[in-house]
Structure formats: C-alpha cells, structure tokens
Amino acid sequence: MRIKAWSHRGGAPDRSRFPNLEDFVLTPPARLSAAIEVLADIAERRRPAADALKDWGLAHRFAGSGDRAAIASLVYDALRRRASAAWVMGEDTPRAVLIGMLRLQHGLAAPTIAGLFSGERFAPDPLTDAERRAIAEGSLTDAPAHVAGDVPDWILPSLSHLFGDALLDELRALGRRAPLDIRINTLKRDRETALAGLTHLAPEITPLAPNGLRIPLGEDGRGPALHVEPEFLDGWYEIQDEGSQLAGALSGVRPGETVVDLCAGGGGKTLAIAAMMQNRGRLIATDDDPRRLAPIHDRLRRAGAEAEIRTPRGGRARADVLGDLDGTVDRVVVDAPCTGTGTWRRNPDAKWRLRLGSLSARVADQAEVLDRALRLVRPGGRITYITCSLLREENDAAINGILARADGALTILPAGSVIADHAQGLADSVRLTEHGLQMSPALTGTDGFYVATLERRG
C-alpha cells in the first residue's frame, strides 16, 4: 500500500511545482495506516524496526521528516506494548497491536480511536464490533506478568531474580520512552559553560552523571537532531545515555595510566575514557569486529581525544593485535557484547527478536573477552566489566565464570566502595548484586547497565 494522503487539497504534489515537500503533511489517519504497514513488514520479515522504517521512507519519498518521525513513534510505541495490547485486543496482529497501544500507551478513548479508524480516504478500515468491545472492556487485570510487563515469557525468571517485588514497576519503566542525554566533552568544555551555550536546546542537568545534560523530547517522543548542531560538530558533546556515562565513570581510569578499551565498538566509552584521562597516558581501543570500529576515527578527531586504534584483520588466522600488552595494562574496560535487554526502552523491537540461542552466544562471547582482559591486566591492575543487560546470566554469572577460570588470580572489589570512589550520587539509587551493581529504568532512570570491578592479585 502506498500512502498518499496530504493535508493540502488536491492529493500528492507535483514535484516540479513544489520542490519543498516539507510543505505537505500526512493526515493522522494516514500515519496510522503507514504504521500498520511497517509493523506488518517487521512481523513478516522479523527485521529490525529501523530497517523497516527506512525502507518505508524510501518507498514513500513524499513523506516529510515530521511524518516519518510520527510514524516511527507510533511503531516503536506499538512494539513497546505489543504483548499487553494484543492481550487487551484478543489478537496479535499489527492492526490490533496498534489499536491496543493507542488505548494503553496514548490513553485515547474509544470514540477518538474510532474517529481515526474511519475507513475514509487513506484512513484504516473502521473498527469492528469486536474491536470496539475490546477497547471498552479489555483489561490487564488477569494478565500474566510477562504480558502486563511486555517481555518474552521465557526471560521472565531471570528478570524476576533481579527485580523481585519490583518486577512489574521495572518492566513498565522499561516499556516507556527513554530520555535523550548527552555527555559534555570535558576536553573542550565544562558542563556549566556548555549549559550556557546550549540554551536553545533547553537542557537540564542529569540527576546522577556529573557531565550529563538531558534534552527535552517533543510530543512525538523525538528529540532535536543533535548530530547536526554546530556545538556537536565542534565536539562539545556526545549523545550518550546517563547510565552509559556512569558506567564509564565507574571504571575509575586516571591520567597517566595505560588503559585498554577492549570492546570499543563505535567509540562511545573510548571518548569518555579519553576525557577522564585528560589525554594523558596511553589509551588503546580495539574490537573483535573491525566494522564496528569504523566510526571511531572521525569521532576522536571531532572530540579532540587521543587514542591508539588497533583494528584486527579479518580471517581465521588473524594476529592478536594486543599481544605486546599482556600483563602490562593498568585498567581494562570490557563493555561486553550482550543481549541489550537494558536498552529495550530505545530498541523495543529487539526484545521480540531475542531468542535463547542468542543469549547463549552472548554468554560465550563474554567469557572470551573476560579471559582476554585477564591476560592483559598487570598485577594490581583492574578490569571493569560492563553490560547493558538485566540478565544474571550475562552479569553476575559471567563474573562467577571468570573467577573460577582465574583460579584465585582475581578478586572482586565491593561495588559500594567503587561507587564511593567514582560515582557517589549512585549510592542511594542503585541495586547491589552479588558481584556488582545494576542500574535500571525505574530505580536510576537510566538504561539497564551492570558494572563489576575485578582486581588482579599482586
């Protein structure tokens, strides 16, 4: 289906007469039709929402940026409430999930929803009698926890282990929209100076992160295009969730040290570490997948940050790019590959694609990078293990594994003392686990980051 409903009379514009297509806007019912189309594509092809939305935009170039943003918000909100919306509506179809979401997430009354689903020009088909009853009478009162909390049922035992009596509160928080945070790059500006220079974005100071600012979102849940702001291009800040900022701070890296960022990816924590080190010392960043390292070079230049990037070659017989550093590194930061369960506020489609086999693969990856970190760190040096996961299998269990394999070579630093040394604001708003600490949307207002610190015995 191609949506061609315009708020201006006369249908789709003549491109030769109206080159600025931003003058035209899809009607709200047409946006709902588009969202149903995208949700159907996601369900049929089991693909990431971002890919489906991109393809929809390419196939419907008449849709302006406001339309695309609104459709994306509808799609992501529907995915956030997929299980509960389907329960209320009595069926798990793209249309039913969208209707249920409008009631549960947006709080729309039945007459309002019926007005949008009118069946008129480019609007979705009118509501059926069954849909009207579901909107009026459907309830989550008797819904099981995984439905009320909108998570896959097989993952609930692990989440219950972490959250206990706070399970539903945490799951509901995990289903809300995430805030938009930035980390001020202290190599170029301090937070107070940046705050004064970014007044056009109406930022607020983050509750916990010492160098963070929070940017207000619009009614559609979207923030401004921060990546095109002059201050971003000048390296004043990076877009980074407050939880990620705190996880980096808990590494406790200091100027003059030798530090390895073992799973650097695009460089988010590498940039934060470079600022903590004040570009003094030696910072080495690498990643097992060289493709993930591609953006890091431009980001370092923009931030004025100094780091040595070691990119592994492809192929089975590739050389170890860190072999010369074994036993010499002061601090190894392991931002481990994981299921990303802690980021479901931002990536709600990911929770419905996650399978038990994916978790098993990530657990194996985590054991591998922890073993590599152990070989790198010197006696008295430290390993900071970080995931954006809420699952014990990837967190405390992974630490149990490396402790057993290290055969007494590692000791755990109590999370309370790490917080006291590097992030005192977290003391009253974080869960302490067997070996580390767990941030979460309901408790800390951040993504779900886990951090544990190990020290190699002398």
- Is 199 found in the same domain as 126? no
In the predicted model, is pLDDT for residue 155 greater than 60?
A: yes
- Percentage of the residues of the chain whose pLDDT score is greater than 90: 88
What is the average per-residue pLDDT within 277-296?
A: 95
Q: Across all residues in the chain, what is the average pLDDT?
A: 92
DSSP 88-132: HHTS-SHHHHHHHHHHHTS---HHHHHHHS--STTSPPPPPHHHH
- Is 148 found in the same domain as 134? no
In the predicted model, is pLDDT for residue 13 greater than 60?
A: no
- Is 372 found in the same domain as 267? yes
pLDDT at 10: 36
| Domain of residue 447, CATH code | 3.40.50.150
pLDDT at 131: 97
In the predicted model, is pLDDT for residue 7 greater than 60?
A: no
Residue 13 is assigned to a structural domain of this protein: no
More confident: 120 or 436: 436
pLDDT tens string 316-356: 656 799 999 999 999 999 999 999 999 999 999 999 999 99
Q: How far apart are CA 192 and CA 248, in angstroms?
A: 20
In the predicted model, is pLDDT for residue 4 greater than 50?
A: no
pLDDT at 218: 85
* Residue 44: domain span: 21-140
In the predicted model, is pLDDT for residue 97 greater than 80?
A: yes
Residue 173 is assigned to a structural domain of this protein: yes
Domain boundary among 107, 140, 173: 140
Residue 241 is assigned to a structural domain of this protein: yes
Label residue 260 by pLDDT band (50, 70, 90): very high
pLDDT tens string 397-412: 999 999 999 999 999 9
Q: How far apart are CA 190 and CA 192, in angstroms?
A: 6
Domain boundary among 108, 124, 140: 140
Could you tell me which residues come within 8 angstroms of residue 450 by beta carbon, excluding any fewer than 6 positions away?
342, 385, 386, 387, 388, 389, 390, 394, 395, 433, 436, 437, 438, 439
pLDDT tens string 35-63: 999 999 999 999 999 999 999 999 998 88
- Is 30 found in the same domain as 72? yes
Residue 53 is assigned to a structural domain of this protein: yes
- Is 360 found in the same domain as 235? yes
Q: Is 287 annotated as a binding residue?
A: yes
Label residue 220 by pLDDT band (50, 70, 90): confident
In the predicted model, is pLDDT for residue 222 greater than 90?
A: no
Q: Is 55 annotated as a binding residue?
A: no
- Is 156 found in the same domain as 130? no
- Is 123 found in the same domain as 216? no
Residue 12 is assigned to a structural domain of this protein: no
Count: domains in the chain:
2
Residue 9 is assigned to a structural domain of this protein: no
Label residue 249 by pLDDT band (50, 70, 90): very high
Residue 380 is assigned to a structural domain of this protein: yes
pLDDT at 265: 94
Which residues sit opposite 413 in a β-bridge? 453
What is the average per-residue pLDDT within 251-258?
A: 97
What is the average per-residue pLDDT within 87-111?
A: 96
- Is 148 found in the same domain as 135? no
pLDDT at 81: 96
Label residue 315 by pLDDT band (50, 70, 90): low
Label residue 65 by pLDDT band (50, 70, 90): confident
> What strand order describes the sheet that includes 180-184?
204-205, 212-215, 180-184, 237-239
Residue 343 is assigned to a structural domain of this protein: yes
In the predicted model, is pLDDT for residue 93 greater than 80?
A: yes
pLDDT tens string 349-400: 999 999 999 999 999 999 999 999 999 999 999 999 999 999 999 999 999 9
Q: How many C-beta atoms lie closer than 10 Å to residue 452's C-beta?
A: 26
In the predicted model, is pLDDT for residue 170 greater than 50?
A: yes
- Is 77 found in the same domain as 207? no
Q: How far apart are CA 442 and CA 430, in angstroms?
A: 10
What is the average per-residue pLDDT within 146-152?
A: 96
- Is 422 found in the same domain as 320? yes
Domain boundary among 140, 169, 185: 140
List active site positions.
388
What is the average per-residue pLDDT within 109-116?
A: 95
- Is 175 found in the same domain as 37? no
pLDDT at 221: 78
- Is 217 found in the same domain as 122? no
pLDDT at 2: 37
Q: What is the pTM of this model?
A: 0.91
More confident: 218 or 9: 218
- Give helix 242-249 / helix 268-276 axis angle, nearest 10°: 50
pLDDT at 364: 97
In the predicted model, is pLDDT for residue 20 greater than 90?
A: no
